[in-house]
């Protein structure tokens, strides 16, 4: 068993666990910084280690297009290519094929599409996605899925979910090196019976972990939590549960309470590049705004990150104002510290049996 649950919260669905991979152990619940193009934007691998990021995410679609699999293969895989020795999870490419590329034609075997970079034509299906992720050397491989757009009518969502189910069965049939894990992805849009059917179908196939996909795509926040409430109970309780592409700090805490163990999201890094920083109450402040120009306090005086220990809002605002790269470096570092530290707080509260209180109080600052 690669996933071990150490503690369960008695009053919510939250779990404290450890996931073992070929590149090391991951303490869950965990937040995975996103390294789309073989780099977590603006960060170095050494800084990610300092932040104690235990796993990062890479994007199959982007890496397949640039630098391409020949180069990553010759480099000895994604870990060696980018100098990251801890675990890597890669997505299947499905999400980006449907959200970024154009001229898509879906067949039973996969998707013909045109690159968003230069329009060149490619084909990606479950077999191709698995082959790419083998070359990448991912510790955790995602099965190829179609991320159902939102909103989708019932019939579209049904057809999409069932095609995903067939693709995931094909993904399962592909060989993976020892110790590499394959996660299935639940789809079914906002329809309870489709989510249930998807969850049960994947459980029948059998995966090392289960992701909930197709959320945080425009639906109301309550709908997202409802879908989790419908879905998670139908997934194997002894396997890791991964909520893809989510979310805000408050959403992470609420999803943990519903039994989610793993998260990835571009929010902390993207907002940092836009000049916003997370503060203790779970909201952000626009550090690059003029109102911070004479604010000689740190972003958060209680925060232990390199940015908050050494620099003021006024300095970071100046860096953004004149376009210095250090500004977005410092905010990226702060925001990732914030997310990783939030997950550490969640894990400690689970270890101590105080998660229910943590959930209520963690943003009351």
* Token pair listed for 202: 């994947």
C-beta of 228 vs 336, nearer to a second copy: 336
**Residues between 188 and 247 with contacts to a second copy, criterion CB under 8 A:** none
Q: Cα 365 to the chain's mean position, in Å?
A: 26
Residue 66 interacts with a second copy (CB under 8 A)?
Answer: yes
Out of 3, 31, 81, 242, the only residue in the binding site for a second copy (CB under 8 A) is: 81
**Stretches 43-51, 156-164, 171-179, 247-255: which one binds a second copy (CB under 8 A)?**
43-51
Closest of 342, 341, 345, 340 to residue 355, by C-alpha: 345
Cis peptide before 29 (omega within 30 of 0): yes
Residue 37 interacts with a second copy (CB under 8 A)?
Answer: yes
Residue pair 245/265 in contact (Cβ under 8 Å)? The answer is yes
Closest of 58, 62, 132 to residue 96, by C-alpha: 62
Cα–Cα separations (whole angstroms), residue 335 to 104, 223, 332, 345: 35, 26, 5, 15
C-beta of 205 vs 326, nearer to a second copy: 326
Out of 266, 280, 314, 356, the only residue in the binding site for a second copy (CB under 8 A) is: 314
- Whether 118 is a known active-site residue: answer no
The binding track of 283-312 with respect to a second copy, each residue x by CB under 8 A or -, is: ----------xx-x---------x---xxx
Question: Count H helices, E strands: the chain?
Answer: 15, 16
Shortest Cβ 274–a second copy spacing (Å): 14
Out of 69, 318, 344, 363, the only residue in the binding site for a second copy (CB under 8 A) is: 318
- Catalytic position from the list 139, 145, 261, 264: 264
Shortest Cβ 69–a second copy spacing (Å): 13
Shortest Cβ 75–a second copy spacing (Å): 6
**Rounded CA separation 101/164 (Å):** 18
C-beta of 169 vs 326, nearer to a second copy: 326
Out of 46, 175, 204, 304, the only residue in the binding site for a second copy (CB under 8 A) is: 46
Phi, psi values for residue 123, rounded to 5°: -130, 135
Out of 49, 52, 83, 237, the only residue in the binding site for a second copy (CB under 8 A) is: 83
**Other C-beta atoms lying within 10 Å of the C-beta of residue 106:** 16
Alpha helices in the chain (DSSP H): 45-50, 60-65, 69-75, 78-82, 94-99, 126-136, 154-173, 192-205, 221-231, 249-257, 267-273, 306-310, 313-322, 325-352, 355-361
Residue 1 interacts with a second copy (CB under 8 A)?
Answer: no
Closest of 206, 213, 209 to residue 17, by C-alpha: 209
Shortest Cβ 179–a second copy spacing (Å): 24
C-beta of 65 vs 215, nearer to a second copy: 65
**Rounded CA separation 179/199 (Å):** 24
- Whether 229 is a known active-site residue: answer no
Which residues form the catalytic set?
A: 91, 264
Q: Under the rule (CB under 8 A), what is the footprint of a second copy?
A: 37-39, 41-46, 62, 66-67, 71, 74-75, 81-83, 293-294, 296, 306, 310-312, 314-315, 318-319, 321-322, 324-326, 328-330
């Amino acid at each position: 068993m690669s996933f071990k649950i150490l503690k369960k919260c008695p009053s919510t669905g939250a779990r404290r666990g450890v996931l073992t991979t070929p590149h090391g152990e991951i303490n869950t619940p965990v937040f995975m910084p996103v390294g789309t193009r073989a780099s977590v934007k603006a960060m170095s691998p050494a800084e990610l280690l300092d932040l104690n990021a235990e796993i990062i995410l890479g994007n199959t679609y982007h890496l397949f297009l640039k630098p391409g699999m020949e180069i990553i293969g010759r480099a000895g895989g994604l870990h060696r290519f980018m100098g990251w020795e801890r675990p890597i999870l890669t997505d299947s490419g499905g999400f980006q094929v449907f959200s970024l590329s154009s001229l898509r034609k879906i067949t039973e075997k996969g998707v013909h599409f045109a690159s968003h970079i230069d329009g060149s034509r490619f084909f990606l299906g479950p077999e191709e996605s698995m082959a790419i992720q083998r070359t990448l050397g991912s510790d955790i491989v995602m099965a190829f899925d179609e991320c159902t757009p939102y909103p989708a009518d019932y019939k579209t969502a049904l057809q999409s979910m069932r095609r995903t189910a067939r693709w995931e069965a094909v993904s399962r049939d592909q060989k993976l090196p020892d110790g590499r894990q394959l996660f299935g992805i639940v789809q079914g849009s906002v329809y309870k019976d489709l989510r249930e059917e998807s969850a049960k179908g994947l459980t029948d196939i059998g995966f090392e972990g289960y992701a909930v996909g197709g959320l945080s795509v425009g639906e109301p926040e309550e709908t997202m939590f409802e879908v989790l409430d419908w879905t998670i109970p139908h997934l194997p309780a002894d396997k890791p549960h991964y909520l893809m592409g989510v979310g805000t700090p408050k959403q992470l805490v609420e999803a943990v309470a519903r039994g989610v163990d793993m998260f990835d999201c571009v929010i902390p890094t993207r907002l940092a590049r836009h000049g916003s920083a997370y503060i203790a109450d779970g909201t952000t402040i626009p550090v690059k705004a003029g109102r911070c120009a004479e604010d000689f306090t740190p972003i958060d005086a209680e925060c232990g990150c390199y940015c908050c220990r050494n620099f003021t809002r006024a300095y970071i605002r100046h860096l953004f104002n004149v376009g210095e790269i250090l500004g977005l470096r410092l905010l990226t570092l702060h925001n990732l510290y914030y997310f990783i530290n939030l997950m550490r707080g969640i894990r400690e509260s689970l270890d101590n049996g105080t998660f229910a209180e943590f959930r209520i109080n963690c943003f009351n600052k």
